[in-house]
Copies of this chain bind each other. A is one copy, B any other.
Amino acid sequence: MRSNGRKNDELRPLNLSTHVNKYAEGSVYIEMGETKVLVTATVDEKVPPFLKGQGKGWVTAEYSMLPRATHSRNQREANRGKLSGRTMEIQRLIGRALRSVVNLHALGERTITLDCDVIQADGGTRTTSITGAFIALSIAVNKIAEQHKLNVFPITDYLASVSVGIAGGRALLDLNYEEDSKAKVDMNLVMTGSGKFVEVQGTGEEAPYSRSELNDMLELGEKGISELIARQREILGPIADRIGTAGSRSGV
């Protein structure tokens, strides 16, 4: 039995609210246990310089934690004058993951920025950000689709993310901070609605892991992600039916 009485393959309670910001084109507030993230999606009718004139769009993300999202207060990155390596790594991951399920040509010359701001952190902030960002993105893309009468709905598949790990000799799903800090192996998975991998990132800094441990973690992750995607479908309601109708994504 895990702390909080969860089973090894059990997710933390998930709460989702959409349309939580009056200005953003898409927004969601997501709680995975005590991890709380606010995600807004902003649509900008232009693309970054490296994409100009190519007839396709861009999806990118920024990630930040409020100073007191954690046990002890963290200095703001704005005060240090630069982003930490951890922040950059996470926001690159979120953007890359979301782009894997967006047909950038169908999106047209627009940029969607997902701002993932962690209000409170208790493990799994990057995976929770991805799961939430997919919802905010879908709402924003739907708004574009309706306003601009796009022929094709640009989101090609569902996408969610979860962490898995090895702690106390067993594979665990969706680690909270306490479990994470004791884990010997830490893995983040991002998968699509069709069960394919978008990201597999497993680190055994404390202890290298075997092929069979890797397989155990992948199985837990697949189970958790399919549950998360079921919840995404539910909250997206009618938008859910449009996802994946675009066929496969083209172009980066």
User: Which positions in A face B, CB cutoff 8 Å?
Assistant: 21-24, 27, 34, 38, 40, 42, 44, 62, 64, 66-73, 76-89, 91-92, 96-97, 99-100, 113, 115, 117, 119-120, 157, 187, 191-192, 194-211, 214, 218, 248-249, 252
Contact = CB atoms under 8 A, between A and B. Distances in A.
Nearest to A222: B211
Given A42-B73, A211-B218, 7 more contacts: A78-B83, A81-B81, A100-B206, A196-B208, A197-B210, A200-B201, A200-B214
Contact of A76 (B44, B62, B71, B187): B62
Contact of A197 (B34, B82, B211): B211
Given A99-B205, A204-B196, A252-B206, A40 B68 contact: yes
Given A120-B23, A200-B214, A210-B197, A205 B89 contact: no
Contacts of A201: 200-202
B198 A203 contact: yes
A78 B82 contact: yes
B96 A203 contact: yes
A45 to B, nearest CB: 11
